[in-house]
Amino acid sequence: MSRVAWFGFATLLGGGCDLQTKAWAEQALRGGSRMIFDPWLEFSLAYNRGTAFSLVPDLGVARWGMGAFALAMVVVLLVFAIRSDGHLLEMLALGTIAGGALGNGIDRLIRLAPQGGTGVVDFIKVNYPWGGSWPTFNVADVLVAVGVAVLFLRGFQSAPTEAAPKPAS
């Protein structure tokens, strides 16, 4: 299988898994949250109408632009994958990032939120032992984070090393 095919496989598999888990969360968590690993991990349905970590809680009509931007990033990553002669692991990492962008981009454009408009379904909630929790997230967010981490680590592996100075003759 070609590197671009691996990119496509990772993109479609990741995006499909993300959208499937969000559909499951909408059905299974409407009645309330589920404790998975008490007290650390729970599944709790939330709709994010804003930016990552809800830094901007409601984008309003700008969510359309953010959704289109996410889908445009999938195309940009595809073009990069086509032009790249990168390692298979890099193609898979780019595909996971694209899969996450695909899932969240589709949500921003078409998934209806109960508060009106569209929103990204988040449902994974990690609780701190001292109280509070990390912002609720989804599989797409995990895909993007893992893909970026792999590319970051690969960058360290392939970073050029400084040649040792030659002794004077």
| Longest CA pairwise span in the chain (Å) | 79
The structure tokens listed for 94 are 């780019």
Count of CB atoms situated within 10 Å of the CB of 13: 15
Distance CA 102, CA 11 (A): 8
Distance CA 1, CA 150 (A): 21
Active site residue 141: yes
Omega cis (within 30) before 114: no
The structure tokens listed for 54 are 């809800």
Distance CA 78, CA 32 (A): 38
Active site residue 122: yes
Residues 120-157 as b/e (b if ≥16 CB within 10 A, e otherwise) read bbbbbbebeeeeeeeebbbbbbbbbebbeebbeeeeee
Q: Which of 38, 58, 107, 122 is catalytic?
A: 122
What residues are labeled active site?
Answer: 122, 141
